[in-house]
Amino acid sequence: MSSNRAPNKTVASNDRHGQEPSIDLSASPADEIKCTTCYMCACRCGIKVYLKNGKVRYIEGNRDHPVNKGVLCGKGSAGIMQHYAPSRLRAPLKRVGPRGSGEFKEISWEEALETASGWLGDIRKTDPRKLAFFTGRDQSQALTGWWCIQYGTPNFAAHGGFCSVNMAAAGLYTFGGSFWEFGEPDWDHTKYLMLFGVAEDHASNPIKIGLGKLKKRGAKVLAINPVRTGYGAIADEWLGLTPGTDGIFVGALIHELLRTQQVDLDYLVRYTNAPWLVIKNPGGDDDGLFARNDEGRPLAFDKATQSFVDAELADLKPALSGTFTLPDGRTAVPSFELLASRYLTAEYSPERAAKETGISADTIRRIAGELAEVAFKEEVVLDIPWTDWAGRRHDKMIGRPISMHAMRGISAHSNGFHTCRMIHVLQILLGTIDCPGGFRYKPPYPKPIPPPLKPHGKPDQVRASEPLGGPHLGFPTGPEDLLIGPDCKPTRIDKAFSWDAPLAAHGLMHMVITNAANADPYPIDLLFMYMANMSWNSSMNTSGVMEHLTAKDEATGEYKIPKIIYSDAYYSEMVPYADLILPDTTYLERWDCISLLDRPISDPDAAADAIRHPVVEPDRNVRGFQSVLIDLGARIGLPGFVNNDGSPKYPGGYSDYIVNHERAPGVGPLAGWRGKDGSQIHVGDPNPDQLNRYIENGGFFVDHFPDELRYHKHVNKGYLDYAAKSGWLPKDARLTFQLYNETFQRFRLAAKGKGSCPPPETHRKRIETFFDPLPFWYAPFEGTMVDTDKFPLYAITQRPMHMYHSWGSQNAWLRQITARNRLYIHTGRALELGLKDDDWIWISSNIGRVKCQIRTVEGVNRNTVWTWNALGKRSGAWGLDNDAPEATEGFLLNHLISELLPKRDGGYRFSNSDPVTGQAAWYDLRVAIEKAKPDEAGETSPRFEPLQSPINVETPEVLAFGTSFQEANR
C-alpha cells in the first residue's frame, strides 16, 4: 500500500504533442480604451477603461499618470462593480413618506430643479444664512464654494473639518505646506521614514509605491501607531503607543535632540523664525508678539554687526539665545530660546513621555539617536545647482534624508493641531523640509504662512440677494478675523471661526445637523448636502443625528430642519432623510475637473491636474451634480452663472464651465492647454479645444519642473518665480517657517482681556490655554472629562485599504472581502477581561453602547481596541438585502462618539473637537467592554428599522459578470 500516491505520471513530450487544447492567447480585450480618472476614492489615479460590447470590461492603471504611475489599488480594480451597482439612484426623488422611511416618488428633472430653485431663490431673497450648503467627498470645491459665494450664505464648507483640518492648519501655519495630500516624503532619497497614524490616507497608491521603494532600498520605516496592520506590518519598527500621546513622544524626541546638541542650527537661522525676537512684557499688550521695526518687519539681533536688523535679511549671524533690550527699551528674546527652553524641561523628558505613551525611555532615546545619525551623518547630496531667494548660487542640493508623514491618527484627536505642529517642529529642527530625502511640497504648495486668505461671513458681509464678497474659508491671524457678531455669537451655523474654533479653516461639518436642529446659533430653512453620508458613518453620535434630522417643532409640527436637498449617486443611509434627491452619475459617466484651484494631484516634481469625462453614457435618468448646480445657479440668477440678459452663462453644463470659467483673468479650473491655441499653461485665455487636448493626453496635464526647481521650494528663486507666474504665490515671496506662531499669541492676549475683542467668559481659559504660540502636549479631552476608571480603553478606527468609507459595501466584489467587521483587542488584555476570540461583547461609552464580536490580536496597544471604519450598514440601504452581514453583524463606533463634550464649568457644551481648528476628535473615544449574554450573541446592536428602497431593481441571486465577454474570448 505504500505506493498509493497520486501518480505524477510524466509522458515524453512527443506523446503529448497536439493534445493541449488550442486556446486564444490573444483575444482582444477591448473595442476601445478610454483614459479618465478613478473615483473609487479621493486619491484620483489615472485609469484606462477597457470597453467591450458597450460594457466596461476592465480597468487598469495609467502608466503615464503622475499619481499612480500605472498601479491600481484594490478599490480601483473593482470599479466595474461600483459602476454597475444595483444601488445606483435612477431618477430624481421626492419624499412622500415620513423622513427617514425611504418612501419616495420618482419625479422629472424639471420638477426637481424647479422645486430646488424655488426653495433656494426664496431664501436668498430673504436671509441667505438660512441655507447651509455642505459637501462631503467633494472634488469640486472650487465650484461649490464659488457657487455659495455668489449665493451669499456664510454657511458653506466641505468635509475637511471632520477629516483632517488639523493637519492642513498645523502645516499651513507652520511651514506653508502640510501632510494629508499636499506633500509627500521624498520616496527616492529618504533613508528614514516616520509614519504617524497612517492606515491608508488619500495618497493611497503613492504611499504604497513609495513604501515599496523604501523597502527595496533598505531605508528604515518606523510606524508609530497603536495598531499594527498594513503599513505597520511591513515597517522595520512598530511603536504601538497609547492613542493621543504622539505629542509627548515627539516632544521627547525634540528634548533628546536638543539635549544632545543635534539640531541643524544653520538651517534654523536661514529658514525659520528661530532668531526672531519675541517681546517679553508680562501683562502687557505686546507680550509675546514679535519685535518689529517701523515697517512692521520682524527683528533679530545680528551678532556680526551687534545690531537689531530685519530678521529676514540674507547672510545674518543672528543670536538664537540671550535677552536683548530693544532700542525702545523693551526686553526681547529670540523665539528659539523659548522653544528650546520649553522642550528641554523635564516635562518632555523621555521618562515622562514613557509614562504617557507606553514607549520606553530607552526606545525614545534610541530613536532620537537614529534620527540624528541619519540626519547629520548620512546626508544626501544631489548634483543640482540652484539659486536661493536672495540670489545666492548653490552648486548642490543637500538634504537630511529623514521624512515624516502623519494623518488622522494625529489629526482626529482634540490635541491634534498642536501635535501635528510639534511634528513639523521636529522636521524643521532636523532640517528636512523640501530637501532631498525629506518631506516635499506638492505644488501649488508652499503657500505663504499662513495663506493670505481671510474667511468671509461676518454679519456685514451677509446680505439678502448679494454675494458674500469672498471665500468662506480662510486663515485668521487674529481675533478681528473671526466670524462673530458683536455679541460674540457665531455667524456660521457650524460655529467655525468663532471663539469655539477660531482657526476652523475647513468648517465643522460634523456640527451642522446638531446645531441646526438645536437652532444654535440660529435655525436654518434649507440644508443642502452633496456626497456625504451624514446620517450614518460621517456623523458622530449617529443615532442622535438621525433624531435631529427627523425632529419636529412641537408647536408647528414642522421638521426642525424644514427642508433637506441631497445629491448622492447611490442609495446611501442619508438619502431617506432628504426631501428632494438630485441623483448623480457614477464616476465613469460624468465630466469632472481635478483642479489646481482645489485639491490638486500634483507631484513634488511637477504641477498636474486632470479631468474625468463620460466614458459610458448613463442608462438612468441621472445628471452630473456639478452641471445641476450650474443649472440651479442660472435658474436663481446667481451672478457669474447668468449673462447680462439673464440667460445661463454655461448652457453646456460643467464641461462648458470647466473650459470657459475664469476665476481671475486667464486663470481657470484647468491649467493645461490654455490660450486660444492651447500653447499656454496656468494662465491663458480659455481654449475651446481644451478638453479634447486633455482626453488626447490620457485625461491629465502635467508640467515637470526643471531639476533646479525640484527642492527647497520655499526659498528656491527659480521655483518662487514659477509659482508667482502661475498665480500660486505673491511675487518675491520667501517663506520663513514659523516655529513660534504669533497668531496664537494674539488670540491669547485677547483671552487675557487685551484688545478690542475679548472672548466671552466661558471661553477665556480655553483660549488662553490652547492658543500657545509654541506647540505643546495635553491629554485629549474626552479622557479628562469622563471617568476613565469606568471607560479604561481607547477606541479607534482604521480605513480598510479595499473599502472607501460607506460606499465600498455596495460593491459585489469588495463586500465579499469584508462584509462585516469585528472589534480587535489585545490578546493579553482580552484574557484579563475574561474574553476569548469570537466572543460577542458590548462596547459602551459615555453616550451609548454597541454590540459586536471580537478578535484577539497581538499587534495592538494593550489599552486600545479598534475596528475597520464604516463597514456597518443600515438594513435596506445600498441595494443590499435586509439580512446582509453588514447590517446584522457589522457595526459603527460612531454611535458611541459624542459630537458634544460634557458640560464644562460654565454649563457650555463645546463640540468634541480640537479647540484650535474645530477638527472632530473621533479618536478621543474612551470605552469599556463587557461580554454579552449568551442569548445576545450573534447580532449587532443598535439596529434600526430597515429602510424602504425607492430603487425598483431586482438584485441578482447570481452574478456572472463577464459571461457576455466569454464568446468573444474563444
Partner 1 sequence: MTCLPETTNKKLGLVIDLDICVGCQACATSCKEWNTGGYSAPLSDIDPYGADPHGAWLNRIHGYEVGEGDASRTVHFPRSCLHCETPACVTVCPTGASYKREEDGIVLVNPDTCIGCKLCSWACPYGAREYDSNHGVMKKCTLCVDRIYNEHLEERDRIPACVRACPTGARHYGDLGDPDSDVSKLVAERQGYDLMPELGYKPTNKYLPPRPRRDGTTATNQPAVEQPAPATGTTIENFFAWADKMLST
Partner 2 sequence: MHPAYSVIFFTTASGAGYGLLTWVAVATLARTAPTDWRFGLISLGLAFLLITGGLLSSTAHLGRPERAWRAMSQWRSSWLSREGVLAIATYVPAGLFGIAWVFFETTSGFISLLALLAALFAIATVYSTGMIYASLPTIKAWHQPWTVPVYIVLALASGGVLYLLIASFFDGANSWPLLLNALVLAAAFAIKRFYWQTLDTDHALPMRYAATGLEHLGRIRQIEPPHTQENFVMREMGYSIARKHAEKLRRLAMALMFAAPALCIVMMMVTGGFATTLLALIATAAMAVGLFTERWLFFAEARHISMVYYGQQAA
Ligand X SMILES: Nc1nc2c(c(=O)[nH]1)N[C@H]1C(S)=C(S)[C@@H](COP(=O)(O)OP(=O)(O)OC[C@H]3O[C@@H](n4cnc5c(=O)[nH]c(N)nc54)[C@H](O)[C@@H]3O)O[C@H]1N2
Q: Is 534 in the site for Mo ion (CB under 5 A)?
A: no
456 interacts with, out of partner 2, partner 1, Mo ion, none, CB within 5 to 8 A per kind: none
Q: Is 216 in the site for partner 1 (CB under 8 A)?
A: yes
Shortest distance in whole angstroms from residue 162 CB to ligand X = 5
Q: Cα–Cα distances in Å, from 420 out to 171, 178, 409, 825?
A: 8, 9, 10, 27
Q: Is 4 in the site for partner 2 (CB under 8 A)?
A: yes
Distance separating alpha carbons of residues 422 and 419, to the nearest angstrom: 5
Return the residue of 6, 12, 25, 958 that touches partner 2, per CB under 8 A. 6
Q: Cα–Cα distances in Å, from 460 out to 120, 156, 494, 960?
A: 21, 17, 18, 60
Q: Is 324 in the site for partner 1 (CB under 8 A)?
A: no
Q: Is 939 in the site for partner 1 (CB under 8 A)?
A: no
Shortest distance in whole angstroms from residue 222 CB to Mo ion = 24
Shortest distance in whole angstroms from residue 536 CB to partner 2 = 20
> Which residue is nearest to ligand SF4, using beta carbons?
76
690 interacts with, out of ligand X, Mo ion, partner 1, none, CB within 5 to 8 A per kind: none
363 interacts with, out of partner 1, Mo ion, ligand X, none, CB within 5 to 8 A per kind: partner 1
Site string for partner 2, 849-888 (x = CB under 8 A): ------x-x---------------------------x---
Q: Is 958 in the site for partner 2 (CB under 8 A)?
A: no
Residue position matching grid coordinates 521614514:
193
Asked whether 151 and 488 are in contact (CB, 8 A), the reply is no
Shortest distance in whole angstroms from residue 205 CB to ligand SF4 = 5
Which residues from 68-107 bind ligand SF4, rule CB under 6 A?
68, 72-73, 75-76
> In three state form, how does the secondary structure of 819-888 look?
CCCCEEEEHHHHHHCCCCCCCEEEEEECCEEEEEEEEEECCECCCEEEEECCCCCCCCCCCCCCCCHHHH
Complex with ligand SF4: residue 185 or 490, whichever CB lies closer: 185
Asked whether 863 and 242 are in contact (CB, 8 A), the reply is yes
- 166: its cell numbers: 488639523
Q: Is 357 helix (H, G, I), strand (E, B) or coil?
A: helix
Complex with ligand SF4: residue 202 or 904, whichever CB lies closer: 202
Shortest distance in whole angstroms from residue 819 CB to ligand X = 16
Q: Is 57 in the site for partner 2 (CB under 8 A)?
A: no
Shortest distance in whole angstroms from residue 89 CB to ligand X = 9
Nearest Cα to 757, choosing from 505, 478, 507, 459? 478
Complex with ligand X: residue 171 or 197, whichever CB lies closer: 197
Complex with Mo ion: residue 163 or 870, whichever CB lies closer: 163
Site string for partner 2, 814-853 (x = CB under 8 A): --xxxxx---x-----------------------------
584 interacts with, out of ligand SF4, partner 2, ligand X, none, CB within 5 to 8 A per kind: ligand X
Q: Is 799 in the site for ligand SF4 (CB under 6 A)?
A: no
* Cβ atoms within 10 Å, residue 454: 17
Shortest distance in whole angstroms from residue 870 CB to partner 1 = 16
Distance separating alpha carbons of residues 45 and 75, to the nearest angstrom: 11
* Cβ atoms within 10 Å, residue 732: 10
Q: Is 340 in the site for partner 1 (CB under 8 A)?
A: yes
Q: Cα–Cα distances in Å, from 772 out to 452, 749, 782, 871?
A: 21, 10, 20, 38
Question: For residue 957, what are the contacts with CB-CB under 8 A and spacing of at least 6?
Answer: none
Q: Is 163 in the site for Mo ion (CB under 5 A)?
A: yes
Asked whether 850 and 941 are in contact (CB, 8 A), the reply is yes
Which residues from 30-59 bind ligand SF4, rule CB under 6 A?
38, 40-41, 43-45
Find the part of the chain contacting Mo ion (CB under 5 A) among 156-164, 258-266, 502-510, 916-924: 156-164
Q: What is the DSSP letter of 612?
A: E
Distance separating alpha carbons of residues 872 and 40, to the nearest angstrom: 19
Nearest Cα to 583, choosing from 623, 529, 533? 623
Which residues from 817-836 bind partner 1, rule CB under 8 A?
817, 819
Q: Is 563 helix (H, G, I), strand (E, B) or coil?
A: strand
Distance separating alpha carbons of residues 312 and 318, to the nearest angstrom: 10
How large is the C-alpha radius of gyration of the chain? 28
Shortest distance in whole angstroms from residue 737 CB to ligand SF4 = 31
Residue position matching grid coordinates 425632529:
551
Summarize as ranges the residues that interact with ligand X (CB under 6 A): 41-42, 136-137, 159, 162-164, 196-202, 204, 224-227, 243-244, 246, 407-409, 413, 530-533, 537-538, 567-570, 572, 574, 584, 586-587, 625, 796-799, 801, 803-807, 866, 869-870, 893-894, 922-923
- Backbone angle region of 932, left / alpha / beta, with phi > 0 → left and psi within -120 to 50 → alpha: beta
Which residues from 36-55 bind partner 1, rule CB under 8 A?
52
> Total residues at the site for partner 1 (CB under 8 A)?
123
Distance separating alpha carbons of residues 556 and 536, to the nearest angstrom: 27
Would you call the peptide bond into 21 cis, given omega within 30 degrees of 0 as the criterion? Answer: no
> Which residue is nearest to ligand X, using beta carbons?
409
* Cβ atoms within 10 Å, residue 597: 21
Complex with ligand X: residue 567 or 821, whichever CB lies closer: 567
Q: Is 802 in the site for partner 1 (CB under 8 A)?
A: yes
Shortest distance in whole angstroms from residue 327 CB to ligand SF4 = 57
Where does 84-156 have alpha helices with state H?
A: 109-126, 141-151
Which residues from 408-437 bind ligand SF4, rule CB under 6 A?
none
> Total residues at the site for partner 2 (CB under 8 A)?
17
Counting Cα atoms < 13 Å in the Cβ hemisphere of 661 gives: 26
* Cβ atoms within 10 Å, residue 855: 15
Distance separating alpha carbons of residues 627 and 592, to the nearest angstrom: 10
Find the part of the chain contacting partner 1 (CB under 8 A) among 223-231, 386-394, 482-490, 865-873: 223-231
> Total residues at the site for ligand SF4 (CB under 6 A)?
13
Complex with ligand X: residue 43 or 219, whichever CB lies closer: 43
Complex with ligand SF4: residue 67 or 892, whichever CB lies closer: 67
Which residues from 199-238 bind ligand SF4, rule CB under 6 A?
204-205
Complex with partner 1: residue 223 or 505, whichever CB lies closer: 223
Q: Cα–Cα distances in Å, from 324 out to 306, 629, 740?
A: 11, 58, 18
- Give the footprint of partner 2 on this chain (CB under 8 A): 1-2, 4-7, 9, 11, 816-820, 824, 855, 857, 885
- Give the footprint of Mo ion on this chain (CB under 5 A): 163
- Give the footprint of ligand SF4 on this chain (CB under 6 A): 38, 40-41, 43-45, 68, 72-73, 75-76, 204-205
